[in-house]
Chains A and B, each alone.
Chain A
């Protein structure tokens, strides 16, 4: 029975499957998915709630654990790379102080040298670990590839499920891919470390007499070295859950696709009720059906009629509907906002307090600085020198780059913390939703 199911699944999954089989498979999956959604919707709330809570919690727990669990072999290596990266960043900050402030140059250089020495020791240990781990990973890859090939040969199929690489023409399984990624990541880590080491050697040669321009260039190389170590470190994050992140990610994409279908179903149901009951505005509901069916039909016909005369007709109709109607309507809807904004600004923007006066002044300055008309007003002022700061474009730029950026960052921090709290509420199913009659 298991063998039958296995063979059936395999015959459906392989890319060479016949179109009819593939179409049947897609049809069955679609029917199952729709059936599941209907079942969930028809189910009483007291049963529906635990199912949704469990699904949300388990999926959230998967990502949480995958993120929190360290890689079994990779964790110590990642720690060493993180230590080296930290040394690079410290040295880079010291060199920045040397270039910009020119104070305590010798102390800063000594501190940078110390940080780089620590980083060098961490890099040496990381290199030793890579040398130790790499043969094991290569051996595991070889065994996985052999197993896959044996499995495929025994069943007379070209590979063991289920990834087809169009570029190389090969098929490999998840296990082989995992080990191949690990071997590749180790090679990339070694490459990143070699780049970082080259930057480090240059930085170790910096002295008090090195020209600031050169120090600045070396500082840039150190930053790039730290970035390549960070990239190498983030690639080495595999633990026992990591191989399953892609399939679990696919599940979320499929659920998203079903949500789209559910949305269309909901919309169609609401408008069908409006038409059948001849409610006020039912003609608009009819327009919805006509538009949806016409666009879908013409869209399909255009692509699937082949090179027949009817195709050029459906293409013309499609162009009229798409460019002539849909695009124009979308642009019009958005353009109407401009009229409301101008009217609202005129009606609501009244100077009633000091704060509103300040806001208006800054709004005027930024609005004028962003358009040629505003720039024209102060175009008589010199482009360089102290008087140039009074040119409108410079004032506007300063407002956007400093006070605005500071306020935006403050808001971003607040949004981040709020988002975290919200994510926790969703994960733990504490969020109230229209799908449930009360808080779960």
Chain B
């Protein structure tokens, strides 16, 4: 009877402690390195960058802040790594005040590691408040004028990477987001101008994202941290993404184990009450 009660009512502090342990250990030490199959949407995202024509630039939209950086920053990191490796210049477009600093720091670190130069291989336009729809529509008419200056205040038409470039030079959009901003990109950029979109949502938004994968309105998707880990594997690189995927594995296993334990306790307690 006592065991059944324990199974049915594990103290929440024990649950918290268990979760902290199973997340912390794989993040700190790489002890598992479990195999990761590559799903079609991640492979398709990889192929999209791999097959980008020369002379095209990419836009990276940063809608996230520190709250979801474990997923969104990691997704951005693996994609930026690939763009740098492939030599595709990109414009970082942050729409979140806090996320701006975090994303720019991440790109700066990667640029340093891979010996890439700001203004030639990448630029950031800095934090931009405003309606996404207006900015996309304005960029269709005149990209450099609408986006204006980079984060240091240099006009885009003076920067070698963007000088003389128009919207027709944009060959890819990467949307890293924890919120529903994808529709605007699809409606105003992806569909009318046939610009491929790589969608990087947080795990809770992944079920919604499969609608757009199915209709091919997005060229590829990185589903949460696991998607980033798969992408890292495609790049033959081992980083935070894979340790994060291991931690996620353990956390999922813990949740499933707890639900099973809770249900066993619940069923047996009910049966015992019925027989009494």
Which residues of A line the B interface, CB within 8 A?
165-167, 181, 224, 227, 230-231, 234, 249, 252-253, 322-323, 326-328, 330-331, 333-335, 338-339, 341-343, 345-347, 349-351, 360, 364, 367-368, 370-376, 379, 393, 397, 400-401, 404-405, 408-409, 412
Contacts and interface: CB of A to CB of B under 8 A. Distances in A.
B234 interface: no
Given A166-B157, A331-B69, A346 B213 contact: no
Nearest to B148: A166
Contacts of B89: none
B194 A375 contact: no
Contacts of B68: 334
Contact of B35 (A326, A339, A375): A375
Interface in B48-88: 65-70
Contact of B252 (A368, A404, A409): A368
B246 A372 contact: yes
A330 B97 CA distance: 12
Given A166-B157, A331-B67, A346 B262 contact: yes
A232 B119 CA distance: 33
A346 B256 contact: no
A350 B262 contact: yes
5 contacts: A249-B134, A322-B98, A371-B253, A372-B35, A375-B35
A166 B145 contact: yes
B206 to A, nearest CB: 7
B131 interface: yes
B194 A227 contact: yes
Interface residues of B, number: 67
Contact of B259 (A181, A346, A400): A346
Given A231-B193, A234-B192, A327 B98 contact: yes
Contacts of A404: 207, 210
A373 B214 contact: no
A338 B251 contact: yes
Given A372-B246, A372-B249, A401 B210 contact: yes
A355 to B, nearest CB: 15
B34 A373 contact: yes
Interface in B222-263: 223-224, 226, 229, 245-246, 248-256, 258-259, 261-263
Contacts of B102: 327
B210 A375 contact: no
A393 B255 contact: no
A381 to B, nearest CB: 12
A339 B191 contact: no
B39 interface: yes
B131 A253 contact: yes
B12 interface: yes
A254 to B, nearest CB: 11
A253 B130 contact: yes
